A and B are shown apart, each in its own frame.
Chain A
Amino acid sequence: MNAQKNSGSMEKLRKSSQWKDVWIRLRRNKLAMVGMVIAVLLALMAIFAPVIAPYDYQVQSIAERLQMPSAQHLMGTDNMGRDILSRLIYGGRISLLVSLLAVIVSLVIGGLLGAVSGYMGGKVDAVIMRLMDILMAIPGILMAVCISAALGGGVWQTALAIAVAGIAGVCRLVRGQTLTLRNQEYIEAARASGSGTLRILLSNIIPNCLAPIIVNTTMSIGGNIMMISALSFVGLGVQPPIPEWGAILNSGREYVSTFWPLITFPGIAIALTMFGFNVFGDGLRDALDPKLKQ
């Protein structure tokens, strides 16, 4: 994959066969495939929410409030008489969107900082790593709570809060990778043939960090969804009436001992999502790990 100076076709061949290998190994792992199917179904559900959802997620009807699951309302209705299933389907949209946004932001910022830190070394590395030490010292969820409280509730604010909490992890990961890469011969060759720091970072270092980054990203999507719902659960994060799984769970708190559907179903949604992405991420890690390659 790194034989940049090879002829174009050769390079293409090697690249494609590597990813093909990964795919073959991944396909053998049944659990990972289950995770992938869950992730894909969730994404489809989020995209086609208006088509799938049986009811409008915000139509209230006090007469129908807190109904148990029935043929009309498969998961019952909430405290405002809204269909819980429809709210969960739309909620998945928000949860996945915020989670993806957060992952992308922390990936870009953390990845760049980590690559620069690992590649440059010296003072730059020291400064960035001390900053990350500080970020790591504050537990992620508390960090997100503080930022969320400072920025106020809302989809974008929540995404930013979760993203900042994730930067340090990505940064450390990429830095570690970069440290091992920077003394390899092909980096030296690139430097000798006149590539600048930025070019080496973008076209040599970062592509070679891809495997652990992909695994980390997959896992983070699930983890972030839990953080988002935790934030909404304590009243920060995404604000009602926007349906978000944690916010729906929060609205069930008052009825914790009387009405189980409002607690159980959103929880299952969160758990299923985390399960899907965790298992898929695990499978990806095994598939990308050449040590298991026979």
Chain B
Amino acid sequence: MLRFIGRRLLVMIPVLLGVLIIVYALSCFMPGDPVINKLGTQNYTQEQYDAMEHQLGLDQPFVVRLGSYLWGVVTRLDLGESYATNRPVTESLAQRVGVSIQLGLMSLCLAGILGIPIGIFSAVRQNTIPDYTITTLSIILASLPGFWLAMEAILIFSAKLQILPASGLTSWKHYIMPVVCASMMTLASLVRMTRSSMLEVIRQDYIRTARSKGMKETRVIFKHALKNALIPVITVLGNQVGMVVGGSIIIETIFNIPGMGSLMLSAINQRDYPVIMGVTLVTSVFVCICNLVVDIVYSLVDPQIRSQFVSGKKRGGKEKTEKEAAA
């Protein structure tokens, strides 16, 4: 198990280096001149410009800049200095990253805690009125963008009813709307995935065997069916991590939450490259770690899968291709 986690951690390193290189290269295409931004005025002499360019290191060729940036990140966790505030990027990230990750994790947990049981319930009661209601609601919810839900929520709960605060993050009430809005879409897809995967498992022979030997229905569902039904659900949850985190970054800006989202957007407006790169890197690290956790949970749910990881193949992907191969 430890070897497996170690392996997966090693694989993360080249991926994150690649992320850094892509984002760094992209930032060089960004319009606007950080040197002029930094000087803050249109009245500058060529000497001033050159001096500032040299100070920012922008007079070096691309590869040299990329190399020194990478070296700084790897050896000192140094993400450079913000062009706008002159403070280290890590410092402003450190202030905000907690809030964003907290919101992201809360949204994911809410989606999981509500979505999986609702999906099981819906599958067990297949073709009843509660099932139809849940299925219809989840199809509709899956089509509502989180940022729009957020605005409607402000409109209804803050402006009209005045029961929830519209901006900031100072009391528990402030968390309700952002977390709920960021999790709704994932919640809906978890419900649908759990339901269909559960239905598929319930049809299997071993479930019939368990029932026919007189086992209690709850035990059949939770002991035998759930374990196998959860595997594709975990895949979906893993795929959704990025979506939830990205989505909550946009939702943060609507609720004026001091997280990475607002940092990122103000950085884009100010052409503050180091901050943009920092935010993207931190988010990618978070997504990678979540995927690692998903893989570990996989192996806990089904020991068969653990052995497959040794050959470096994921069961989720393989199973899918086999399923489609039947097509």
Which A residues fall within an 8 A CB radius of B? 31, 130-131, 133-142, 145-147, 149-152, 172, 176-177, 179-181, 211-212, 222, 226, 229-230, 233-236, 249, 252-253, 256-258, 260, 263-264, 266-267, 270-272, 274-275, 278-279, 282, 288-291
Q: Which chain B residues in 50-64 approach chain A with CB under 8 Å?
A: none
> Which residues of chain B come closer than 8 Å to A130, judged between CB atoms?
14-15, 18
A134, B22: Cβ atoms under 8 Å?
yes
Query: Which residue of B is nearest A223, CB measured?
Result: B243
Measured CA separation A86–B51 after assembly (Å): 52
Shortest beta-carbon distance, B37 to chain A, in Å? 14
Measured CA separation A235–B268 after assembly (Å): 10
Which 9 pairs of residues, A with B, have the shortest CB-CB distance?
A257-B159, A134-B18, A141-B246, A139-B242, A180-B325, A139-B246, A267-B148, A275-B143, A176-B321
A275, B140: Cβ atoms under 8 Å?
yes
Shortest beta-carbon distance, B190 to chain A, in Å? 15
Which of B25-33, B80-88, B213-221, B295-303 lies at the interface with chain A? Answer: B25-33
> Which residues of chain A come closer than 8 Å to B158, judged between CB atoms?
257
> Which residues of chain B come closer than 8 Å to A230, judged between CB atoms?
145, 147, 247, 250
Which B residues fall within an 8 A CB radius of A? 11, 14-16, 18-19, 22-23, 26-27, 29-31, 139-140, 142-145, 147-148, 151-152, 154-155, 158-159, 166, 242-243, 245-247, 249-250, 253-254, 264-265, 268-269, 276, 279-280, 283-284, 287-288, 317, 320-322, 324-327
B268, A236: Cβ atoms under 8 Å?
yes
The answer, among A212, A235, A279, for a CB contact under 8 Å with B324, is: A212
Dominant secondary structure at the A interface:
helix
> Which residues of chain A come closer than 8 Å to B16, judged between CB atoms?
137
Query: Which residue of A is nearest B189, CB measured?
Result: A278
> Which residues of chain A come closer than 8 Å to B327, judged between CB atoms?
211-212, 288-290
Query: Which residue of B is nearest A144, CB measured?
Result: B246
A180, B321: Cβ atoms under 8 Å?
yes
Shortest beta-carbon distance, B185 to chain A, in Å? 9
Measured CA separation A139–B287 after assembly (Å): 8
Query: Which residue of A is nearest B269, CB measured?
Result: A235
A263, B152: Cβ atoms under 8 Å?
yes
B283, A270: Cβ atoms under 8 Å?
no
Measured CA separation A211–B327 after assembly (Å): 8
A235-B139 contact, Cβ under 8 Å, with A133-B15, A141-B247, A270-B148: no
> Which residues of chain A come closer than 8 Å to B145, judged between CB atoms?
226, 229-230, 267, 270-271, 274
B264, A145: Cβ atoms under 8 Å?
yes
> Which residues of chain A come closer than 8 Å to B27, judged between CB atoms?
146, 150
Shortest beta-carbon distance, A12 to chain B, in Å? 21
Between A and B, 16 residue pairs with Cβ closer than 8 Å are A133-B11, A134-B18, A137-B16, A137-B19, A138-B284, A142-B279, A146-B26, A176-B324, A177-B321, A211-B324, A235-B269, A260-B155, A274-B142, A278-B143, A289-B327, A290-B327
Query: Which residue of A is nearest B136, CB measured?
Result: A31
Shortest beta-carbon distance, B277 to chain A, in Å? 9
B280, A146: Cβ atoms under 8 Å?
yes
A257, B19: Cβ atoms under 8 Å?
no
The answer, among A150, A229, A274, A288, for a CB contact under 8 Å with B26, is: A150
Query: Which residue of B is nearest A270, CB measured?
Result: B145
B265, A234: Cβ atoms under 8 Å?
yes
A176, B320: Cβ atoms under 8 Å?
yes
Query: Which residue of A is nearest B162, CB measured?
Result: A257
The answer, among A141, A176, A290, for a CB contact under 8 Å with B326, is: A290
Measured CA separation A222–B166 after assembly (Å): 29
A138-B19 contact, Cβ under 8 Å, with A270-B145, A289-B327: yes
> Which residues of chain A come closer than 8 Å to B11, judged between CB atoms?
133
A263-B317 contact, Cβ under 8 Å, with A147-B26, A279-B139: no
A257, B265: Cβ atoms under 8 Å?
no
> Which residues of chain B come closer than 8 Å to A142, judged between CB atoms?
246, 249, 264, 279-280, 283
